[in-house]
Amino acid sequence: MKSRARVGKIFTPHGEIDTPGFVAVGTNGTIKAIDTQMIEKIGLQLMFCNTYHLLLQPGTHVVKKAGGLHKFINRKSPLITDSGGFQIFSLAYGGVNDELKSRGKKKTDGSVLKISEEGVTFRSYRDGSKIELTPESSIEAQKALGADIIIPFDELPPYHIDPKALKESFDRTHRWEICSLKTHLKNPQNQAIYGVVHGGIDKNLRKQSCHTLSQYAFDGYAIGGSVGKNKQELRELIDYTAPLLPSAKPIHLLGIGDLESLLATIPYGVDTFDSSYPTKAARHGQLLTKEGGIKIKQGKYNMDFGPIADDCTCPTCSHYCVAYLHHLFKAHELTGYTLASIHNLHFMVELMRQIRLAIYDDVI
């Protein structure tokens, strides 16, 4: 096939984002184990924070009082927040993998108390208090946070759901998104808003979602919901969906950031990806390399006095050897998690730069 991979640039009030670009997840307003100054040094252009978590702690009123999320966490570069919807539902249902393991039995931890036309009532995972989130309140929360890009409130249906319930959820989520957009447009506050394409793995629903959302003034589109249970399903879905969206606007793939998925979907025109995978893997001792990565806790690394990768320019590889990192992990030192996270995040930033060059060169 002819590649639809593309190189682009997103302009925001806090600077540019080169695409394809990796978006690191800093759920609580920090990328785990790395401070904001180091994130800037690594050159991460877009950081993803979770409204659900920030709503519960410290509370969006605190962040607003601080002058917004950029000031609160002292980040000069662009930020994106989600709506809270995904978190509410994914914490309640578990991920797709949990569901697949449960062989189709719907699983919920009971934290979602009520879903109505107005929104969702759920229990805080922090203190058990009842909280209602609606399209309006989600957008208000994201106005208080003040990220450069925000996401409309949506519902994540479980992967195993009967067609009737899926359609109900599907229609409601689009009403919620449009309501979110209208709330946003009353006070745009120089933020961009991305519509979230739903429909699970049903092509007709995906088409309908693209069609509906394309009629509204969203600044970009995020592909959300269940995107398949394996890479093949993901690839087919993106191949089918991406061309149905306005080509002049950025396409974001929500919650996907492993290398295989990136390389599988960039040729279909996906521009940005968010995932906690590189930093989570780092804390488990999995260091990313072009040769498929290394498991730093393995005994064979105890005498490896070179860097993780000879050509890596990250602050970790510039200063420390593999044997020291191995030792820090064996000794359960927090410093090890930090140094590994720095390397993996830098790896993703650098990989995307190389992917952009490869697209220029028509290699991808």
124 binds a copy of itself (CB under 8 A): no
Q: How far is the CB of 180 from a copy of itself (least distance, A)?
A: 26
Window 189 to 218, contacts with a copy of itself (CB under 8 A): none
Return the amino acid letter for 335: T
Annotated catalytic sites, by residue?
82, 274
Q: How far is the CB of 306 from a copy of itself (least distance, A)?
A: 11
84 binds a copy of itself (CB under 8 A): no
Q: Mask of contacts with a copy of itself, 37-76, x by CB under 8 A?
A: x---------------x---xxx--x--xxx----xxx--
33 binds a copy of itself (CB under 8 A): yes
Residue 237: Cβ within 10 Å count:
24
E strand or H helix at 99, and its extent?
A: helix 96-101
328 binds a copy of itself (CB under 8 A): yes
36 binds a copy of itself (CB under 8 A): yes
- Beta-carbon contacts of residue 331 (< 8 Å; ≥ 6 apart): none
Of the candidates 236, 321, 353, 358, which one interacts with a copy of itself according to CB under 8 A? 321
* Cβ nearer to a copy of itself, comparing 53 with 252: 53
302 binds a copy of itself (CB under 8 A): yes
Stretch that binds a copy of itself, among 98-106, 222-230, 263-271, 299-307 (CB under 8 A): 299-307
Of the candidates 3, 15, 35, 189, which one interacts with a copy of itself according to CB under 8 A? 35
The CA distance from 194 to 220, in Å, is 4
* Cβ nearer to a copy of itself, comparing 26 with 200: 26
Of the candidates 4, 7, 16, 28, which one interacts with a copy of itself according to CB under 8 A? 28
The CA distance from 113 to 286, in Å, is 38
Cα dihedral 147, 151, 153, 159, rounded to 10, equals: -130
Residue 93: Cβ within 10 Å count:
23
* Cβ nearer to a copy of itself, comparing 10 with 339: 339
The CA distance from 250 to 220, in Å, is 5
The CA distance from 144 to 72, in Å, is 12
The CA distance from 316 to 352, in Å, is 19
Of 233, 79, 254, nearest to 156 by C-alpha is 254
Helix pair 163-186, 135-145: axis angle to 10 deg: 50
Contact 349, 278 (CB under 8 A): no
Of 290, 231, 240, nearest to 269 by C-alpha is 240
Of the candidates 110, 305, 311, 362, which one interacts with a copy of itself according to CB under 8 A? 305
Q: How far is the CB of 296 from a copy of itself (least distance, A)?
A: 13
Q: Which residues bind a copy of itself (CB under 8 A)?
A: 28-37, 53, 57-59, 62, 65-67, 72-74, 302-303, 305, 315, 319-321, 323-324, 326-328, 330-331, 333-339
